[in-house]
Amino acid sequence: MKNVQFLMVGGGIGGLTCAIALRRAGFEVDIIERDPTWSVYGVGIIQQSNVIRAMSQLGLIDDYLEAGFGFNEIDVFLPDGSHIARVPAPKLVEQYPANVGIGRKALQQVLSDRALGSGATVRLGITVTDLADRGEEGVDVTFSDGSAGRYDAVIGADGLYSETRATLFPDAPKPAFAGQSVWRYNFRRPENVTTLMSFEGSVGMGIVPLAPDLMYLFVTTPEPGNPRYPREGLAAAMRAKLADAAPFVASLKEQIMDDEAVVYKPLETVFVDGPWYKGRTVLIGDAVHATTPHLGQGAGMAIEDAIVLAEELSRQDSFEAAFEAFQARRFERCRYIVERSLAICNGQLGNSPPVDQAKAMREMFEVVSQPI
């Protein structure tokens, strides 16, 4: 396909990465993002060997690694702080680390700079109010600012609460609360924190290096009834969740003082078991396979989606064939991540047998090391 113009609905990790991949393939891309400030919260994200490979394929590897902190192993600890395993991650790109911890703001900057530099356009504070698929004539789109346009195809990269998904498939599953929430907070990184440190237990905890002077702590806690915590007092609430933490994590507790710096998020999942596309509109990333963070692969799956979709659009003769091939390549891998992550969550909640985290990580590495 040539002389094709796409509308990308969503300017997050998946949407920006897909825009970059499409521009590299020679397609035109307009991005709309509902957030007028195009902001992301200021904690970090874990990205593993398959993402390193993807960033290399996209020509982003050096800028990406410069913005983060590379490491090659995951250290696993019991709740009392006893070290039980060091899990080596496979290196998929020679001379580069196997994993990266990176601040979300830093990652957003790398991706947005490259997307804009590649020629993609971005409009902020805009949503889609109407999609009218005209078949071979394209898709007529009406926007919330009253403007309109016609595109050859539309890509819904608008996340867990995707309005594009609701428009295409009103009967598709809605996001479901997993029973846990995650608390996150940034700290100065001591020199001895050079790997992801994962602590097992009913309250899962992990420490991730993000930069030479920065790391973050994540804590996954059971939250029956999915309560909402007021912003005032959020730091004290997070400290209380660390009452039985391993000694190193407990030593950080008194630094958690700023309510505004605590990022609290209920964990929700969705997996669309039917089609991911309809006509000339296709969904990617969290819009069709949002996962809990227990395997650290949510963003990784969206980034892989971007590469595969661009490849199939370049290879196939029609949008239907490209979208069908895209879903066929991504479906089982994304299902695996969603289901295995939720299994770890349910094990921590006591809803199913506990999952050996070191074993689960090794298995996950074997799966995501396979070609996409």
Q: Indicate the pLDDT class of residue 150, thresholds 50, 70 and 90.
A: very high
Residue 42 confidence (pLDDT): 81
| Between 41 and 237, the higher pLDDT residue | 237
What string of DSSP letters covers 61-86? HHHHHHTEEEE-EEEEE-TTS-EEEE
Residue 358 confidence (pLDDT): 83
Residue 357 confidence (pLDDT): 83
CA distance 44 to 55: 17
SS3 318: coil
Q: Of 160, 211, 270, nearest to 45 (Cα)?
A: 211
Residue 223 Rama label (left phi>0; alpha psi -120 to 50; beta): beta
Q: pLDDT by residue (tens digit) across 348-371?
A: 999 999 998 889 989 999 999 999
Residue 200 confidence (pLDDT): 86
Choose the CATH number for 5-175+268-368 among 3.50.50.60, 3.90.1150.10, 3.40.50.1000, 3.30.70.20: 3.50.50.60
**For 67-77, what is the mean pLDDT?**
94
Q: Is the pLDDT of residue 41 over 90?
A: no
- Write the DSSP symbol of residue 350: T
CA distance 123 to 157: 15
Q: Of 243, 249, 176, 201, nearest to 355 (Cα)?
A: 201
**For 8-34, what is the mean pLDDT?**
98
Which H or E element spans position 256? none
| Contact between residue 349 and residue 222 where contact means Cβ atoms under 8 Å apart | yes
Q: pLDDT by residue (tens digit) across 270-295?
A: 999 999 999 999 999 999 999 999 99
Kindly calculate the radius of gyration of the chain based on its CA atoms and give it in whole angstroms: 20
Q: Is the pLDDT of residue 1 over 80?
A: no
Q: Indicate the pLDDT class of residue 202, thresholds 50, 70 and 90.
A: confident
Residue 312 confidence (pLDDT): 98
Residue 52 confidence (pLDDT): 96
Q: pLDDT by residue (tens digit) across 54-69?
A: 999 999 999 999 999 9
| Contact between residue 369 and residue 89 where contact means Cβ atoms under 8 Å apart | no
Domain boundaries, the chain: 5-175+268-368
> What pTM, to 2 d.p., does this model score?
0.96
Q: Is the pLDDT of residue 171 over 80?
A: yes
Residue 195 confidence (pLDDT): 96
Q: pLDDT by residue (tens digit) across 218-238?
A: 999 999 999 999 999 999 999
User: Per DSSP, what are the bridge partners of residue 9?
Assistant: 32, 156
- Would you call 123 exposed, middle or buried from its count of C-beta atoms within 10 A (0-12, 13-18, 19+)? middle
Q: Is the pLDDT of residue 12 over 80?
A: yes
Q: Indicate the pLDDT class of residue 128, thresholds 50, 70 and 90.
A: very high
Q: Is the pLDDT of residue 201 over 80?
A: yes
Structure tokens at 84: 């039980």
Q: pLDDT by residue (tens digit) across 294-337?
A: 999 999 999 999 999 999 999 999 999 999 999 999 999 999 99
* Cβ neighbours around 229 below 10 Å, total: 15
CA distance 295 to 365: 10
Q: pLDDT by residue (tens digit) across 179-189?
A: 999 999 999 99
Share of residues in the chain with pLDDT > 70 (%):
100
Q: pLDDT by residue (tens digit) across 106-124?
A: 999 999 999 999 999 999 9
